[in-house]
Amino acid sequence: MADEPDAPRVERVDAAGRPGVSTVWRLRSLEAARQVLRARHATTQAGFTAEAIPQGYLEHHPILVSDGPQHDEQRRKVARFLAPTVVAVRYTDLMHTTADRLLAQAVADGGCTLDELALLYTVEVTAEVVGLTESSVPRMARRLEAMFSQPPFDVTRRDLGRTRRQWMQAAVNGLVPVGRLFLADVRPAVRARRREPRDDIVSHLLAEGYSTASILVECVTYGTAGMVTTREFVVMAALHLLDDDALRARYLVAPEPERLAILGEVIRLEPVVGHLYRRAQQPIDVSDGGQSWTIQPGDLVDVCVRSTNADPEAVGAAPLDLCPGRSLPAGVGEPVLAFGDGEHKCPGQPLALLETDALLVRLLALEPRLVAEPELGWDHLVAGYWLRGARLALGDGGPDGGSPRRGPRTSTSARIATFVRGLTRWRPEKTS
């Protein structure tokens, strides 16, 4: 859903004369957004509190928030673990066996909480790719989840608009789970791979000369981006497919490429990361619909992903409907900008789509029944939604005694759209 209906496609909010507050360009045009995201080395990462991360303490800056030639080199070397063919060949069996085991337990229990199932599944699969395999998956999942308990912030302000007390809270809420992750998960993995290297990312980082501290930071990056946020996609996709009987039936009989296209359309409509932020380091010329603008160095760019993904000039008629098989511009895939674009495009897109499909095709074949709606929330760190508490009944019994799959209810897409539009969104012009 577009988060601001009828808003300007390219909007400049001037912060002149307001120290510490950025001039912001909000881009809701796919054409303009791609021009910025593909302006190589003209911008730096400004999302995920990247600009608040101290420089110079690590010999390797984390891949999520690094820029320039260093970032290009990091991505080139890690691509061999996340390329589509590699993911399909190396990890398909793992996805299938993990999904089968977790679903067998869910059936034995009569049901499951969807986000908890998705978290355990995505953590186990991604942990194998990363190399965090020397500890308990459920406990690691909780440690990763705890990192998201952060106070809100205003990305348009250089100090993020936080009070001293909020910064202290952010430090405690962030560093304690990171410390636990290091002791329980990262350190054992590093020690094991120093003795016997394996074909995973931790072993690769050791071979590249990364210190244990730098490896920890990269594991936090892959843990939060590759495991925890994929959980939201799994839940959202499941809810959409449970909402639509015809689409679910089509999905269950479709070959894998068609299923992945359906999932791509779901995440186009419901991107987990709702905003991509970049800081201009050079002048960037953008155009849209015959108009042109120049973004100046120092300006903050806010790519409004929900809106760019629903840009009717790019995705066609009925942009807010879930319509797999859309005709899209050249070079644009089904997710549009849900996984980003340009030098910071998410390298884990193939893994996220394939592991989501492997779980959902098995889950939906069990004919689950939604017996409790999810709670909706907003995470400031990833600028996206979260979904908690959707309860599924499986098998003949379960907590609802075999009720129909779902009763009268507002569709997931309509509920999410209403929720996102109702958020209290930051406005630079209102910042004191």
Q: Which two tokens stand for residue 24?
A: 């912001």
Other Cβ atoms less than 10 A from the Cβ of 139: the count is: 13
**Which CATH topology does 10-430 take?**
Cytochrome p450 (1.10.630)
For 282, list phi and psi in degrees, rounded to 5.
-140, 160
- Contact indicator for 338, 313 with CB cutoff of 8 Å: no
What is the model's pLDDT at position 56? 58
CB environment 151-190: b (16+ within 10 A), e (fewer): eebbbbbeebbbeeeeeeebeebbeebbebbbebbbbebb
**CA pair distance 99, 97, nearest whole angstrom:** 5
Please state the pTM of the whole predicted model. Answer: 0.89
**CA pair distance 308, 252, nearest whole angstrom:** 29
Per-residue confidence of the chain (432 residues) as pLDDT tens digits? 445 557 899 999 998 778 888 999 999 999 999 999 999 889 988 877 777 776 655 566 666 666 777 767 777 778 888 889 999 999 999 999 999 999 999 999 999 999 999 999 999 999 999 999 999 999 999 998 888 778 888 888 888 888 888 888 888 877 888 899 999 999 999 999 999 999 999 999 999 888 898 899 888 888 777 777 899 999 999 999 999 999 999 999 999 999 999 999 999 999 999 999 999 999 999 999 899 999 999 999 999 999 999 999 999 999 999 999 999 999 999 999 999 998 888 888 999 999 999 999 999 999 999 999 999 988 887 788 899 999 999 976 544 444 434 443 455 556 655 555 444 333 333 333
Q: Domain-by-domain residue ranges, the chain? A: 10-430
